[in-house]
Amino acid sequence: MEQFGTVFCSNISIVRFKDGQWQEPAIEPLAPLPMHPAAHVFHYASSCFEGFKAYRWEDGRAYIFRLQDHVARMRRSAESMRLPVPDTELLAGMVKRLVANQIAEIPLPPSALYLRPTLIGTLENIGAAASPSTEATLFILASPVGDYFEGGSRPLKLLVDDQHARTTAQIGSTKTGGNYASALGPILDAKAKYGVDQVLFCPDGDVQETGAANFLLIGDDEVVTKPLNEMFLHGVTRDSILKLAADLGYKVSERDFTVDELLAAAPTYEATLSGTAACLAPVGCLVYEGKEILVRDGQPGPNTEKLRSALQAIHFGQAPDTHNWLTQV
């Protein structure tokens, strides 16, 4: 499998918002989008997106994981960015039609089809810095993918940054490119200086999230993660893991915790990153104040693997979908 996110299906689904209404969506061959240089998105970052997966089971059927939850989150992101909000039925229908059209391009488990709906402001007005884009384009990319991290589920190394936030409170829970752009510089600096994979942002010592995933501590009988607020992304994978953990008898503790508490828990708890792309990725080492601190023995832990396997068993049709998370195409 090529690097995650670099291979695309032969078609996209696309629709435009113009004259106050959504036009008729279509499936078109993958090709560059014609864009005016004055398009709002280029100058004022009016964009949001989603990321989720479809799976093709061995019997040939395809299923999309938590479609309605991702559609709902994208609608919230569009509202946050003051973009035209796509109707639930419009967006969900576009996704389902594209998956059905590309079903032959969906790789078999453990690979999947990554889906990337993207909404951009296309109003041709470079004077609209304080105005929303009243025109927009919504398109959906489909990409066959394997593991997000090179080397698979190897233990990751994180820099613990207790000074900076990933982004601003106003759009922290919005899935928009600006949040990733604000975290990129600190992540690249940390990679160059400490050889880490990611940065765990903990402003004022409050453990929050990394640049691209939610963060969880997992013990033998407890899962600990920060409660939802407007500062960080409300991950669908995070929510799935917490629900499955409760099903399996873990105590789920959504509470604030500090860097000091994180470091104290490192010898006995497992640490993981959760996200659609990475699923549940183990953390083996933390870097704090220039020192490397092992998480347990530095290797993937049994509880992380247990929860990851429970989630993937639903993805792949190997366990009952008791939460009704799958949408058949």
| Extents of the domains making up the chain | 11-145, 156-315
- Coil, strand, or helix at residue 247? helix
pLDDT given at position 143: 97
Q: Kindly state the greatest CA–CA separation across the chain.
A: 59
pLDDT in tens, the chain (329 residues): 578 889 999 999 999 999 999 999 999 999 999 999 999 999 999 999 999 999 999 899 999 999 999 999 999 999 999 999 999 999 999 999 999 999 999 999 989 999 999 999 999 999 999 999 999 999 999 999 986 655 556 899 999 999 999 999 889 999 999 999 999 999 999 999 999 999 999 999 999 999 999 999 999 999 999 999 999 999 999 999 999 999 999 999 999 999 999 999 999 999 999 999 878 999 999 999 999 999 999 999 999 999 999 999 999 999 999 999 999 99
pLDDT given at position 314: 97
pLDDT given at position 174: 96
Q: How far apart are CA 154 and CA 172, in angstroms?
A: 28
- Coil, strand, or helix at residue 185? helix
pTM for the model? 0.95
Catalytic annotation, residues: 175
Give first-to-last CA distance, the chain, whole Å.
Answer: 24
The yes-or-no answer to whether 11-145 and 156-315 have a common fold is: no
Q: Which fold has domain 156-315?
A: D-amino Acid Aminotransferase; Chain A, domain 2 (3.20.10)
DSSP 74-129: HHHHHHHTTPPPPPHHHHHHHHHHHHHHTGGGPPPTT-EEEEEEEEEE--B-TT-T
Burial (CB count <10 Å: 0-12, 13-18, 19+), residue 302? exposed
pLDDT given at position 150: 53
Cα separation values, 81 from 95, 194, 272, Å: 21, 35, 30
Residue 59 neighbours by CB distance under 10 Å: 6
Least Cα distance to 68 among 37, 44, 89, 84 occurs for 89
Q: Which two tokens stand for residue 14?
A: 């696309």
Is domain 11-145 annotated with CATH 1.10.150.80?
A: no
pLDDT given at position 4: 86
DSSP 35-61: --TTBHHHHH--EEE--EEEEE-TTS-
pLDDT given at position 153: 67
**Partners of 274 in the beta sheet?**
214, 280
Least Cα distance to 160 among 265, 253, 231, 241 occurs for 265
- Cβ atoms of 65 and 52 within 8 Å: the answer is yes
Residue 295 CB contacts under 8 Å (≥ 6 apart), including other chains:
155, 266, 269, 270, 271, 283, 284, 285, 286
Least Cα distance to 121 among 32, 43, 5, 200 occurs for 43
